[in-house]
Amino acid sequence: MVGASEEVELNRLENQVDNGGGGVWEYLCLVRKLKVRRSDKVLKHGLSILNDSKKRSKLGGEEWTLYEQVAVAAIDCQCLDVAKDCIKALQKQFPESRRVGRLEGMLLEAKGLWADAEKAYSSLLEDNSLDQVIHKRRISMAKAQGNVSAAIEGLNKYLDIYMADHDAWRELAEIYVSLQLYKQAAFCYEELILSQPTVPLYHLAYADVLYTLGGIENLQIAKKYYAATIDLTGGKNTRALYGICLCTIALGQLIKGRNKEDKESSELHSLAATVLGKDYKYRAPDKVSLLTATLGNLKLS
């Protein structure tokens, strides 16, 4: 999870290394810890360390982790020769290693040799059939080939065994959303919220899915989850604030015929609108007029 202060630190370090200041190793460690995907920067700066033998020897045992990080970044940036060299160096140091075998499989995937990659992964699985990461690589291979139904099937089988893997639940939810199977996606997000209730972004995604599904009950539940997101982020999440406004308006349109019993919802609506206005005034003052116009139109309609 990337916290606000960690994001600030990451951006600061990124600016620093891009402009030639030091701190490359701290930047690479922070990227590894936060698990963000900055492959082009990691490749450029990681190579600058690896090509300089003095800096490399200063790292000691950590240089192999750096080799792995740079190999993955190179595969992501499609610089396959760099990746091949890194993997060769790792193989010399750690022969018969499962992690290096995984990297080779990823390289084959990136080259597009799906059958060879599949063979490599199956042979690694023969020695150890409980390796989670290799199962996940096979699923992502199915996804990369465009075979989404096979990916879904593979993920369901994987989740039958490893029910606590929230990365897999998240992946499954995103695949379902891309296929517009919102009810199944809602189920996956419910699992995520159950296992990690303090991450506000899962609440937000769940509320989004419910809002998309529509219907009075779903909209009411979506409003509750948008409110939960605002609570967990200290009121700073713009998307959740918008979510509350839109939910209130959609509910108002659906309940137009009946009596409006809940007066407290209009308080929530106006509070959210006020906070949005203040936030825009602070961060994007030239767009405040757009905001007030949109919200005003929606309220009147």
Cβ(139)–Cβ(154) under 8 Å? yes
Helix (H, G, I), strand (E, B) or coil at 215: coil
Among 125, 144, 249, 275, binds another protein (CB under 8 A): 144
What's the per-residue H, E or C state across 221-240? HHHHHHHHHHHHCCCCCHHH
Site string (33-52) toward another protein, x via CB under 8 A: -xxxx-----xx--x--xx-
Give the nearest distance from C-beta 8 to another protein in angstroms. 8
Helix (H, G, I), strand (E, B) or coil at 37: coil
Radius of gyration of the chain (CA): 24
Among 68, 104, 109, 191, binds another protein (CB under 8 A): 109
In angstroms, the CA 301 to CA 296 distance is 9
Q: Which residue stretch of 68-76, 93-101, 121-129, 220-228 sits at the interface with another protein (rule: CB under 8 A)?
A: 68-76
Cα torsion angle, 204, 210, 214, 217, sign: negative
Tokens of 5: 């202060």
CA triple 135-190-226, angle to 5 deg: 130
Among 45, 137, 223, 269, binds another protein (CB under 8 A): 137
Q: Is 86 in the site for another protein (CB under 8 A)?
A: yes
Among 20, 60, 61, 234, binds another protein (CB under 8 A): 234
- Between 44 and 224, CB nearer to another protein: 44
In angstroms, the CA 17 to CA 11 distance is 10
- Between 132 and 266, CB nearer to another protein: 132
Give the nearest distance from C-beta 99 to another protein in angstroms. 13
**Backbone φ and ψ of 92, nearest 5°:** -65, -40
Q: Is 3 in the site for another protein (CB under 8 A)?
A: yes
Q: Is 60 in the site for another protein (CB under 8 A)?
A: no
In angstroms, the CA 99 to CA 58 distance is 24
Give the nearest distance from C-beta 264 to another protein in angstroms. 22
Tokens of 120: 């490599």
**With CB under 8 A, what is the number of residues at the site for another protein?**
54
Amino acid at 249: I
DSSP state of 190: H
Among 79, 207, 241, 245, binds another protein (CB under 8 A): 79
Residue that has been written with the tokens 């918008």 in this structure: 242
Q: Is 241 in the site for another protein (CB under 8 A)?
A: no
Q: In Å, how far from its chain's centre is CA 182?
A: 19
Q: Is 136 in the site for another protein (CB under 8 A)?
A: yes
Site string (166-195) toward another protein, x via CB under 8 A: -xx-xx------------------------
Among 13, 24, 49, 75, binds another protein (CB under 8 A): 75
In angstroms, the CA 58 to CA 42 distance is 18
Among 15, 78, 122, 294, binds another protein (CB under 8 A): 78
Contacts with another protein, residue ranges (CB under 8 A): 1-5, 7, 34-37, 43-44, 47, 50-51, 53, 70, 72, 74-79, 81-82, 85-86, 89, 106, 109-110, 112, 133, 136-137, 139-141, 143-144, 167-168, 170-171, 198-201, 231-234, 236
